Amino acid sequence: MKYEAVIFDLDGVICHTDKYHFQAWKALADKLGIYFDETINNRLRGVSRMESLEIILERYDGTLTDEEKTRYADEKNDIYKELLKQMSPADLSPEVKDTLDQLRARGVKLAIGSSSKNARFILGQIGLGDYFDAISDGNNITNSKPDPEVFVKAAEFLGIPAGKCLVVEDAEAGIQAATAGGMDSAAMGDAARYHIATYDMDSFADLLNIV
pLDDT average, residue stretch 183-189: 97
pLDDT average, residue stretch 202-211: 97
- The catalytic residues are 9, 11
Q: Which domains does the chain have, with CATH numbers?
A: 5-15+89-210 (3.40.50.1000), 18-84 (1.10.150.240)
pTM of this structure? 0.89
Is pLDDT at 207 greater than 90 in this prediction? yes
pLDDT average, residue stretch 81-92: 96
* Cβ-based neighbour number of residue 55 at 10 Å: 15
pLDDT average, residue stretch 192-201: 95
Average pLDDT, the chain: 95
- Give residue-wise pLDDT tens across range 95-112: 999 999 999 999 999 999
**CB burial string 30-44: b at 16+ within 10 A, e below:** eeeebebeeebbeeb
Closest alpha carbon to 149 in 117, 112, 123, 113: 113
pLDDT average, residue stretch 196-205: 97
